[in-house]
Structure 1
Amino acid sequence: MSFIHPGLLAFLAALAVPVIIHLLMRPKPKRMLFPALQLVARRKKRNVRRIRLRRFWLLVLRLVLLAAFIFLLARPLLPAASYRPTSTEWITALAIVVTGGLIFLVSELLWNRRASQQHEESYRRSVSATAVITLVVVVVGLLVGWPYGSRVFADAQSPSMDADDDVPLAAVYLFDTSLSMGYIREGQSRLEAAAELAEQHLSDLPSGSRIAVADSSTNVRPVFFRDKEGVRAKIDSLEPRAGGGALNRSVREAIRTLEDDRSRLIEDLGDGPAELRRDPFARAVFVFTDLTASSWDSSQIVSEEVADPAYPVFFVDVGVTEPSNIGLADVELADDGVLAGGIATLRGRIVGVNPTESKVPVEVRVEESADSEVVRGQKSISTDGTGTFEFRIPVDHAGFVRGTVGTTVGDPFSADDRRFFVVRVVDPPRVLLVSDSLEATYLTGEALAPSILVRQNLARFVVTRISTSAFYDAKLDEFDAVLLVDVREPSDRQWERLGKFVRAGGGLGVVLGTAVESFAYNSAEAQSILPAELLVNLAFEPPQRLVSGDRSHRVIRRLDEFEGLTELTAWDIRRHWKVAVDPTARELLKYTLPGEPRAALLTATVGAGRTALMTTGLGSSDWNDLTSAQWAFVALVDQLTSWLIDLSGQRLNFRAGEIATVRLSESATTDTANVVLKLPSLEDQILPVSGEQSEITLDPFEEAGLYRLTVRRDSTTDSTWLAVNASDRESNFERVPAERLDETLGPDGYDVITDMDGVNLELRETTLGVEAGPGLIIILLLAFFGEGLLANRFYGGRGEEASGVSPTEGRR
């Protein structure tokens, strides 16, 4: 036993006070003249014995009363154990007390049959009561106290025990709120089934239990509820979300919540010895989940946190053993930005888990207004895992095209039946072609804006061709991209203007040729934006071919999709510029020079803009035969220019859980700007924007659907649409294998259960102690009551006892 306030035990010295008072106030017999001296002496002797017995018990009760009060103030701590007597112990103790009472009554009846004087009866009654009380105490100690003490001692030495109805529970209910928990079975989602199990368990908890509710979609540390209604309200508010985090990360946080709660309780108890502090709570983490692999991150190991048996982890499995699902996966746009009059290409595939249909219809819908959609295509796709689809959506006008693609066949899991997309449609970009000779830019200009399409207003680009001499007066801010085609000697002034243009978000393409002077391209101003340094102009003997370099680059991917890359690599390259590539540049195309691969097409990002460098000419038969590739040559020029301009302006399509950074228009970079994000649930979020802020970063998306970011300033309103889709992993109902759980949590760190019955919880060995205050209060009340009763009887008859004459005898 230890004490929270051990200093108060010094007041135990006050126990000497009742003893001293008792000795000082001992009654002294009065001297009386009486003829029958022998009778008086005999009665005096018996009265003294009876008074001593009563005095002894009165002294004991007063000492117990004072000691209990002092111990109560000192707040003793007992080791954690089950101190509540069992029903057998209660019945045995009660039976012994009742038996003692019966013995006392029987003895009284037997003695009353014999004639005796009152003082003899009083003495005999005191002796009988003392004997019976002593016997009861001894028998209770042997038959009840000894087994009880042995049990409590053993329990305190090894405080593991099954959590029964008597042990309050401090637990965390952790709910898996990933989308897979929305799977419907028998009219009930997996999350609803988990909530039902949790509420049933909650109803059966003993008084004093404390529950915290957490979910895998939020990073907020849960708090404990003391009332069950608060727990139920929190559980009822949960719903599946697309942006849920890893479940094992949430398990770690739940365990830390229990540890922090224990630490706070220790602080509240004071400075008692740590070795005797025991936790009065059974503690556990209950994870309500369908145990799908999509909600698990095996890279996050938490076995160290769950190795302590004081915090057992129970996975309450509410999953379906044989789910059935048909959904869409790998849905993506070829480009987030498309030119007006062009085509937006949308691709994806159908995934099936125990599908009920061999084929399903897939249709794409485009929103024409807030409450109106138009079907733009429909196909029947196989569900055997090989079914893919591609929709080509014509776009005519500048703005944002938003829509959905999905199946029209319902199944138990609807979260992957529909995917969202947004395309930014822009007017034809303006491109400035600069060359020493206008003839040198003719083929490049025709590739970007064919004359026949220009006359029909169908060209993808608006092209302006000027000579180098006119470049000095050109207003670059009126163009989206500038292409220098075999320009002999750009001045530092021109490079300075181009640098500002690129860093502000413009695109610069440089095509080398015969007229180029390397020193002009190797100046400090030029090298600050170019992806390579020019070394020497060389001829290939024999001619070489092109070969792909960085196949992940968007330009190469698009050429490869149309097999344009294969066509380009079939034509000869006779001359080129050998360059020293900047480490930050990406090599899209190379030459097939044996043993010494050299860069043919380089790209780089500079500030907010982009640059590209072609080390062989375009449109010059002396340098190569690329123009003979015809449509492939046009595709190369078109895709490279589109990349330089960055048509989408920014990424518009995201996965749930990702963070988006959106560039703000100039109207938002003032203190009067109002930025509002409308969620798919139609809820508005006001976003703070500072006066000089040029972009805004959004919190991780938690909901799939279409988002609208609106910037309002005075009478100007600019909007940007974003599409968010759930991860494709949610469509995979593969269950997390036991091996992965063992690897992440440790073989002994968890249990998997399907209901809440028979859950065994263990109390921690070195946690909080149990305060003995309630027991001491009971002892204090009993001692107070007994002392008052005995003192009243003792002092009420004190004069008669001292004189040895009873009132009855006096009347005789």
Structure 2
Amino acid sequence: MTFFNATLILGTLAAVVPIALHLLARREPQRVVFPGVRFLRPKLSSQRSRLRIRRWWLLALRVLAVIALAVALARPHIDSSLSSTWWTVGLMGLTGVGFLILASVAVARGMGRSLAIGVAVAGLLALVGSLFLGTRTWATSGDLSEGNEQPVAMALLIDNGPSSKRLISSSDGTNSSRLENAIGEAATVIERLPEGSRLVVLDRSATPIGFALDAASARLRLSQMKPLANPLPVQERMDAAIELLRSSDLPGKQLVVVSDWNAASWKPSAQTPAMQPEDVAISMLQVDASVDGNFDASAERLINRFLSPPKLIDAASAPGVSIPISVSVGMESSSASEGQSINVTVQLSLYERDPSLPVIRDGELVLPRLRGVDRASATVVAGADAELVLTLPPLDLGTHHAVVELVGDDAFGWDDRRFLTLNIPVPPRVLLVGENADERNRLGHGLTAPIAPDEDGAGFRVAGVTYSDLSAVDWQLIDAVAMIDPPIQIDAASQSVVSGSGLTQSTVDQLVELARRGGGVVMMLGPSTEVLGVASPNNQAGSDGTNRLLPDLVRSWRVPEPGRFLEERLPMHPILRPLTSLDDQPSWSAFRVNRYWQSEPNATAGWQTVVRYAGTQHPAVVARTIAPDDANNQPGRVAVLTTPLPALSKKTRSWNQLFTAADAWPAFVIWRGLMQWATGVSDQATTVLVGATAVVPEKDAANQLRRAIDAVEATADATTESSVRLYPPMAEGNEIDGEPTIREVNVADRDGVFSETNEVGTTFLRGPDYWGGYSTNLDPVWSRDERVTESEMDQRFGAEQWVPSDSGEQLSIQGRVGGSPPVSLHGPMMLLAVIVFLAEQLLSNRFYRTSGEAA
């Protein structure tokens, strides 16, 4: 045990004062009759007994009250590792006092003398044991310091992740963000640092760190911190801080992390090993513990409503057609909001496509006009999200930016506004080849639904021919081709095409050439495909397969009833993206496949199994890219289905039930995903989460169509420099967050790829013959204000390697290496002094009643 104000221990000498007062206190005056000399002897006897102590418990309480107050003012501290020992000392002392009280009661009530003596002896033994153990522990324990007596090397890490932007309400009705509270607590810690300490202040940005020159520069660093939408991992910043602390020659090293313990930042994972730096003390200062009811219980917790990132219901948006958008709205669930419901209004706004904007005018960023185009309302219950569908009006070719926002304010603003960027491309030209006209029409309508393929506004330009008409096709006008049950003969030994009545080697070469100039080829194998000879899986006789449209085929596989069903192998592949983005996932067991081609795709040739048949390793959908023959072209795409679509003719009907089941929407979605991938429509990622990579069109679709119409202008524009200006997102309140960083970028040189997605909002790209951009949204995980527990923190740091704290005032600044942090006994000693004082008042009123009350 150590006393941080040891000189005040001398105050225990004041314990002699109540003893002296007790001995010298005047007795209450009594009426004495003095008739004769016979009363002189008793009077003298009474005067001699006046100095005797009669009320021992009252005296003991007065002495104990003075001692407890003096010890509390001396601010005793104990080593946390010895806390159990000191608790034992205290319990033994209380036991001894209890036995002495029982002994005094036994004497007062005239109980047996032996009982009183035995109880008194037990009490004295307990007190002596408590005194011995306490003295021994005190003598053997090392010295403690309060922490502000020895200089330390300290790193203050401020967790300024997205959750630090949340507002919290105090009891006086004012609102402040968690980051503001964290900065205030960090400033308190800086004020308490001892002279000669070294300090570094850092956050979760990539800013290089170093020790501050003085406290003023550290406070300046604090004042410049802002919430980050895409922060670095906490572990990475802690590692950097620990490495810097180890470079200091001060013996005491401490890392203080000021955080709200949000689960999105702190939840341990299998990839996060526990940190156990033995030479650096780790302290966790938690701000806003109101979720657990431990922080400002009188304050009302602010409600947080949130929006999910918007999703296009149809990825292949077409010009001149209304575009539906799906978005979910919800309210954060907590003990305070359980069962609560609110009415919310969601508004959809659209930026006007203005090639002259954005622009900097008089130092201010001027954006295109934002106009509302749709609005919807819903009643939201805490913990249950509601889905809304908003509609964009028919749009022209090119890139368009929209904003979905909740009307009104709440605790967290970053999930109240969601941003959307979509591109309306020139409709790709798709050729459907098949012998059955009904099958071609069915696939064509499925590709352009809900409108017909020949109507204006269709997302694809669809044409259909039979295999006998392929010789008249101008392949330069085709972006992708889909072959329904192609009549192709394959040599089993070499896996090469054998000329016959179906597809010739010349036609196959034209398809390969289409893929090499960036086109797409989709083959849906059926009964018309033939394998001649005996197939050998993983055949090494032929080439490596890089020039072939088909993987190695083995044989036609007939499945007994009830048949196989599909199983997603690569759910994140672009072919399946339209399917996996839906809230309702299909039950594939309702769509049986009775026959398919067994294939052995060669991984070295780039084949990927996207979908397979459940219970087997047989591929159902395989896909690969083909390297272009010109550096200016995009890679080509080839996809193969080992069972035919739509399987409506007499020859193919028995192969599967993908299109003939009661509700065949999954097959339609798979079909659209295939063609969107084959034509490159699904390649673009213009609406992403912060930190993800955005992919924008390399050319403006509006200018692309204009060039196609005017060939002369197209020739002139071919040499136009595609350098554009990049306008980053603006801060909330339509104000630029600091100086606008407008940069010149080249979209073509980047292949349309942008990794600058660290800010929430819409990034505009504007230049000659180009108007586009991309949008970034905050990850929905930040809308759920979940916290990690102390046990989860133990997983990350080790149970003995970190110390929690709720405020900068209570944080223990450890100016030493190793050992355990000091634990203050100031509060318990003050409480003991108050209890003893109250007990003394009660006993004094009992013993010193007035004569009238005694009568």
Checking the alignment, whether the CA contact within 8 Å between 1:247 and 1:297 is kept in structure 2 is no
Checking the alignment, whether the CA contact within 8 Å between 1:363 and 1:375 is kept in structure 2 is no
Aligned counterpart for 1:512 among listed residues 525, 541, 548: 525
Looking at structure 2, the residues matched to 197 and 647 of structure 1 have their Cα atoms a distance apart, in angstroms, of 51
The answer as to 2:303 corresponding to 1:325 is yes
Aligned counterpart for 1:677 among listed residues 723, 726, 729: 726
Aligned alpha-carbon RMSD (Å) = 4.3
Find the counterpart in structure 2 of residue 175 from structure 1.
Answer: 158
Helix, strand or coil at the partner of 1:234: helix
Pairs within 5 Å for 1:259-298: 259-262=246-249, 279=250, 282-298=252-268
Find the counterpart in structure 1 of residue 328 from structure 2.
Answer: 348
Checking the alignment, whether the CA contact within 8 Å between 1:161 and 1:763 is kept in structure 2 is no
Helix, strand or coil at the partner of 2:309: strand
Residues 298 and 695 of structure 1, relative CA distance in 2, 3 Å threshold: same
Aligned counterpart for 1:613 among listed residues 640, 645, 656: 640
Checking the alignment, whether the CA contact within 8 Å between 1:422 and 1:722 is kept in structure 2 is yes
Find the counterpart in structure 2 of residue 647 from structure 1.
Answer: 681
Aligned counterpart for 2:278 among listed residues 289, 294, 307: 307
Aligned counterpart for 2:317 among listed residues 335, 338, 342: 338
Residues 473 and 222 of structure 1, relative CA distance in 2, 3 Å threshold: farther
Give 5+ residue unaligned stretches, structure 2.
Answer: 1-5, 9-140, 292-300, 353-367, 489-501, 628-634, 705-716, 731-735, 819-855
Residues 457 and 519 of structure 1, relative CA distance in 2, 3 Å threshold: farther
Helix, strand or coil at the partner of 2:247: helix
Helix, strand or coil at the partner of 1:211: strand
Find the counterpart in structure 2 of residue 756 from structure 1.
Answer: 808
Deviation of residue 366 (structure 1)? 2.8
Deviation of residue 176 (structure 1)? 0.7
Checking the alignment, whether the CA contact within 8 Å between 1:336 and 1:652 is kept in structure 2 is no
Aligned counterpart for 2:238 among listed residues 251, 256, 267: 251
Aligned counterpart for 1:588 among listed residues 597, 604, 611: 611
Deviation of residue 427 (structure 1)? 3.8
Task: State the Cα deviation string for residues 131-189 of structure 1 (Å, max 9, x = none).
Answer: xxxxxxxxxxxxxxxxxxxxxxxxxxx99763665544432221110122122223221
Find the counterpart in structure 2 of residue 145 from structure 1.
Answer: none
Pairs within 5 Å for 1:471-486: 471=470, 474-485=473-484, 486=486
Residues 305 and 678 of structure 1, relative CA distance in 2, 3 Å threshold: farther
Looking at structure 2, the residues matched to 562 and 696 of structure 1 have their Cα atoms a distance apart, in angstroms, of 28
Pairs within 5 Å for 1:342-421: 343-354=323-334, 357-369=340-352, 370-394=368-392, 396-397=394-395, 398-421=397-420
Deviation of residue 259 (structure 1)? 1.1
Pairs within 5 Å for 1:684-723: 684-686=741-743, 693-699=750-756, 701-710=757-766, 712=767, 715-719=768-772, 721-723=773-775
Looking at structure 2, the residues matched to 597 and 171 of structure 1 have their Cα atoms a distance apart, in angstroms, of 57
Deviation of residue 257 (structure 1)? 1.3
Checking the alignment, whether the CA contact within 8 Å between 2:566 and 2:588 is kept in structure 1 is no
Task: State the Cα deviation string for residues 5-63 of structure 1 (Å, max 9, x = none).
Answer: xxxxxxxxxxxxxxxxxxxxxxxxxxxxxxxxxxxxxxxxxxxxxxxxxxxxxxxxxxx
Deviation of residue 194 (structure 1)? 1.9
Pairs within 5 Å for 1:528-607: 528=547, 530=549, 532-537=551-556, 544=563, 546-550=565-569, 552=571, 569=590, 576-582=596-602, 584-588=607-611, 590=613, 599-606=619-626
Looking at structure 2, the residues matched to 669 and 695 of structure 1 have their Cα atoms a distance apart, in angstroms, of 17
Looking at structure 1, the residues matched to 697 and 463 of structure 2 have their Cα atoms a distance apart, in angstroms, of 28
Deviation of residue 636 (structure 1)? 5.5
Looking at structure 2, the residues matched to 349 and 167 of structure 1 have their Cα atoms a distance apart, in angstroms, of 53
Looking at structure 1, the residues matched to 189 and 451 of structure 2 have their Cα atoms a distance apart, in angstroms, of 76
Helix, strand or coil at the partner of 2:379: strand
Find the counterpart in structure 2 of residue 199 from structure 1.
Answer: 187
The answer as to 2:212 corresponding to 1:225 is yes
Looking at structure 2, the residues matched to 565 and 164 of structure 1 have their Cα atoms a distance apart, in angstroms, of 62
Deviation of residue 564 (structure 1)? 11
Looking at structure 1, the residues matched to 530 and 506 of structure 2 have their Cα atoms a distance apart, in angstroms, of 16
Find the counterpart in structure 1 of residue 827 from structure 2.
Answer: none
Looking at structure 1, the residues matched to 810 and 382 of structure 2 have their Cα atoms a distance apart, in angstroms, of 42
Checking the alignment, whether the CA contact within 8 Å between 1:244 and 1:657 is kept in structure 2 is no
Deviation of residue 192 (structure 1)? 1.1
Looking at structure 1, the residues matched to 532 and 719 of structure 2 have their Cα atoms a distance apart, in angstroms, of 43
Looking at structure 2, the residues matched to 602 and 504 of structure 1 have their Cα atoms a distance apart, in angstroms, of 21
Looking at structure 2, the residues matched to 432 and 163 of structure 1 have their Cα atoms a distance apart, in angstroms, of 81
Find the counterpart in structure 1 of residue 786 from structure 2.
Answer: 734
Looking at structure 2, the residues matched to 740 and 571 of structure 1 have their Cα atoms a distance apart, in angstroms, of 46
Checking the alignment, whether the CA contact within 8 Å between 1:669 and 1:691 is kept in structure 2 is no
Pairs within 5 Å for 1:99-110: none
Residues 563 and 692 of structure 1, relative CA distance in 2, 3 Å threshold: closer
The answer as to 2:178 corresponding to 1:190 is yes
Residues 171 and 599 of structure 1, relative CA distance in 2, 3 Å threshold: closer
The amino acid of 2:779's aligned partner reads S
Checking the alignment, whether the CA contact within 8 Å between 1:352 and 1:383 is kept in structure 2 is no
Give 5+ residue unaligned stretches, structure 1.
Answer: 1-85, 89-157, 263-278, 767-812
Q: What is the number of residues matched between the two proteins?
A: 584
Helix, strand or coil at the partner of 1:453: coil
The amino acid of 2:160's aligned partner reads T
Checking the alignment, whether the CA contact within 8 Å between 1:548 and 1:556 is kept in structure 2 is no
Looking at structure 2, the residues matched to 565 and 165 of structure 1 have their Cα atoms a distance apart, in angstroms, of 64
Deviation of residue 509 (structure 1)? 0.9
Checking the alignment, whether the CA contact within 8 Å between 2:521 and 2:638 is kept in structure 1 is yes
Looking at structure 2, the residues matched to 454 and 366 of structure 1 have their Cα atoms a distance apart, in angstroms, of 30
Pairs within 5 Å for 1:5-154: none
Residues 542 and 623 of structure 1, relative CA distance in 2, 3 Å threshold: farther
Looking at structure 1, the residues matched to 383 and 331 of structure 2 have their Cα atoms a distance apart, in angstroms, of 5
Residues 546 and 567 of structure 1, relative CA distance in 2, 3 Å threshold: closer
Looking at structure 2, the residues matched to 541 and 252 of structure 1 have their Cα atoms a distance apart, in angstroms, of 59
Helix, strand or coil at the partner of 2:290: coil
Find the counterpart in structure 2 of residue 31 from structure 1.
Answer: none
Find the counterpart in structure 1 of residue 127 from structure 2.
Answer: none
Looking at structure 1, the residues matched to 435 and 468 of structure 2 have their Cα atoms a distance apart, in angstroms, of 8
Structure number with greater Rg is: 1
Checking the alignment, whether the CA contact within 8 Å between 1:285 and 1:314 is kept in structure 2 is yes
Deviation of residue 298 (structure 1)? 1.4
Deviation of residue 238 (structure 1)? 0.4
Checking the alignment, whether the CA contact within 8 Å between 1:511 and 1:616 is kept in structure 2 is yes
Find the counterpart in structure 2 of residue 623 from structure 1.
Answer: 652
